[in-house]
Amino acid sequence: MSRNMLYIIILCLGFASFSTAQGTLEMSLEDCIKYGLENNKNIKIAAEKVTAGKLKREEVNSSGLPSLSLQAGYTHLSPVDPFEISIPMGGTMQKFTVSPSVLDNYSAKLTLTQPLFTGFKIDLNKELTDQSISAGMFDLEAEKTKLRYNISNAFWTLYKVTEGKKIIEEYIKNIEIHLADLNNFYKQGLVTKNEILKLEVQLSSTKVQLLETENNIQLAKLNLLNTLDLPYQTDITIKPVLSETVPDTLLSLQELNEHAINTRPELRAMAIRIDSRKTAVELTKSAWYPEVFLVGNYNFARPNMRIVPTKDEFKGTWDISLSLSYNLWNWNATSYRTQQAESELSQTNYQYQMMKDGILIEVKQAYLNYSACATRIGLAEHTVQQADENYRVSYNLFQQGLIRNSDLIDAEVAQFEAKIKLVTAFSDLKNAEALLNKAIGN
């Protein structure tokens, strides 16, 4: 393939990607949650922490295995006289060199170390890393739960203002129809100019409200894009949402509390950290025990000091030893470290109780909020039905000249407000449901 053709293909792919990025992105709540869980940076950070914990576990595992190290060196010595002895032979003194002076020294040492007993430090460190991994996984679940709620909240906020815009636009059309009828009545001398002006003021006020709602839609979109970690230039819309019926039954507050205590990932992570603190206490106590190592060395040197007499040549020797180290006195530092670990354990226990109490309060608040929203949406639906019927009757009576213009305006306003309240109630209910799920750890 020629270089020019390759450039053309790359350019086309770039334009295709740009067009996709600039197009409208339509997403359902499930789409948003799925995308957020796959791309959110906090989720990725929490996942990387779990990965780091697993790698730490492998590192700790290796500390109980034999280690092999190599040390090598070269030394040039200053000149000294060789070690010589004189022996009388044949009436004369004959000199014999016992140990020559070797000025260039080469050495290589291979050491194998195997820990035999470390005061249970290795096993306790393994337990600590396992607990850290488990706590990190629950932290990851907590981040996912928090993100699900944040996405749901942003989604339903956008839904509320988007549906509100539709209702306002419908209301504006009703006012315009009403205004056209009113102008016809004015030409016939049936209404005054003042009544037309009142309705025009109402229309202008509603158009201002529409502009404010359109701005709120852009802000809600920006909030959703930020929550999803999408570029802020993305034009996002939500898929149509079908109204759902309110569940007839809801778990009791006691059942919700029990579910939250058993399920909330933050609380489960904190419970594991209590166990970690207990393990840390035992780890500090391990300093009271001696440490035993098996050490083997292989020396390859020129000259090798173990070879007598000294020869300027490479020779290999080995040795094996059993070493024991024990700290007899460190001014009670080990005891102080143990007391510090016990204090941190107490702090973690208090934090667990505080978190548990906070979760129970959170569950009750979410439960009361959801119950109120569920009741309110039923009333809002009934109010819309009444307002629709009231508007239908009022409009027919107005066409027949049986009611005043102000009565029809009141019916239009009542219908408009009822529909807005229904959309708000539905959005609040879905937000309350998401908050309740977050509170109980679903």
Which of 282, 309, 325 is where one domain is finished?
Answer: 325
CATH number reported for the structural domain that contains residue 395 in this entry: 1.20.1600.10
CB of 409 closer than 8 Å to CB of 198:
yes
Q: Summarize the confidence of residues 375-396 as an average pLDDT.
A: 94
For range 122-131, the mean pLDDT:
96
Could you give the number of structural domains in the chain?
2
Answer whether 314's CB lies under 8 Å from 300's CB.
Answer: yes
CA angle at 200 for the pair 196 and 206, rounded to the nearest 5°: 145
Q: What is the dihedral of CA 340, 346, 348, 354, to 10 degrees?
A: -150
Give the tens place of pLDDT for each residue, 63-117.
999 999 999 999 999 998 887 787 877 677 777 777 888 899 999 999 999 999 9
Q: Does residue 237 share a domain with residue 105? A: no
Residue 2 lies in a domain: no
The identity of residue 385, as a single letter, is Q
Residues 263 and 371 in one domain: yes
Same domain, 213 and 171: yes
Residues 91 and 235 in one domain: no
Q: Are residues 90 and 177 in the same domain?
A: no
Domain of 223? 26-63+118-290+333-440
Helix, strand, or coil here: 354? helix
Question: CA–CA separation, 438 vs 143, rounded Å?
Answer: 11
Is 175 part of any domain?
A: yes
Distance in angstroms (rounded) separating the CA atoms of residues 418 and 181: 24
Phi, psi dihedrals of residue 113, rounded to the nearest 5°: -120, 130
Residues 31 and 143 in one domain: yes
- Verify that 340 and 368 share a domain, yes or no: yes
Alpha-carbon torsion 186, 192, 193, 195, what sign? negative
Residue 7 domain flag:
no
Please tell me whether the peptide bond between 303 and the residue prior to it is cis, using omega within 30 degrees of 0: yes
- The per-residue pLDDT for range 252-306, each reduced to its tens digit, is 999 999 999 999 999 999 999 999 999 999 999 999 999 999 999 999 999 998 8
Q: Do 387 and 258 fall into the same domain?
A: yes
| 13 assigned to some structural domain | no
For residue 360, being part of any structural domain is answered with yes
Reported pTM: 0.83
- Looking at per-residue pLDDT, the higher value among 234 and 7 belongs to 234
- Based on the fold, state whether residues 141 and 166 are members of the same structural domain: yes
Distance CA 193, CA 304 (A): 120
Distance CA 427, CA 161 (A): 10
> End of a domain among 306, 325, 344?
325
